[in-house]
Amino acid sequence: MLDLTLIDKDWTLFLDRDGVINYEKEADYIRNAGEFRFYEGVPEAIGIFAGRFGRIFVVTNQKGIGKGLMTDKDLQDIHEVMLKEIEMNHGRIDRIYFCPDLDETSPNRKPNPGMGFQAKADFPDIDFSRSLMVGNTMGDMKFGKSLGAKTIFIPSTKPMPVLPDPLIDAVYPGLHAIAKAL
């Protein structure tokens, strides 16, 4: 079992965005800041995470850009709204990594570990064995495990996998529940 009380400033937190931080649109993308809606308690949870984790990153696939349904500027606007609310709740996101690629074999497209390696290049003190990946898909879990991180599955929009599963270290209903367990 994953003991979250052992997490300290030496740990790194990787968060998926859609379905973890904010509501997803069914069979579509969050295309602009007006469509972005936090799950209840998420800004406050990230405020708690800021006091425990040394680094906090968002790692998100953003195929909508690759498909031409939104622009880099649209994504930047969404993230500005997200970051402002998080900061108002004493939280922080140290960096947002996103992959607009359509090709599933792109090294940066989850479940491939490229965004994690980008974070390691930008923050060389990251120890993947002292990292936690939180996501709502098995691709997120595979991303975390390919880095050597611990994983938490949030069953927000995807079916709950059959447990035990070697890709999943723990299951929580949302970020607020993880924050309470720290």
pLDDT confidence of residue 157:
83
pLDDT mean values, one per 10 residues, the chain (182 residues) = 92 98 92 96 98 98 95 97 97 98 95 98 98 97 98 90 94 97 94
In the structure encoding, which two tokens stand for residue 92, read together? 């922080």
Alpha helices of the chain — where are they, by DSSP H?
Answer: 42-52, 63-66, 72-88, 114-122, 138-147, 175-181
Q: Which of 136, 132, 134 is nearest to 161 (CA)?
A: 136
- Long-range CB contact pairs, 113-116, < 8 A, 24+: 113/143, 113/146, 113/147, 115/59, 115/143, 116/14, 116/59, 116/143, 116/146, 116/147, 116/149
pLDDT confidence of residue 94:
98
Contact status, residue 115 vs residue 59, Cβ threshold 8 Å: yes
Q: How many CB atoms lie within 10 A of CB 180?
A: 12
pLDDT confidence of residue 11:
98
Q: How far apart are CA 77 and CA 31, in angstroms?
A: 10
Q: Is 18 a catalytic residue?
A: yes
DSSP state of 36: -
Catalytic position from the list 3, 8, 10, 16: 16
Catalytic position from the list 8, 10, 18, 122: 18
Full set of structural domains in the chain with CATH = 4-181 (3.40.50.1000)
Q: Is 16 a catalytic residue?
A: yes
| Distance, C-alpha 101 to centroid of its chain | 17
Q: For the chain, what is the total number of helices (H) and then of strands (E)?
A: 6, 6
- pTM for this prediction: 0.96
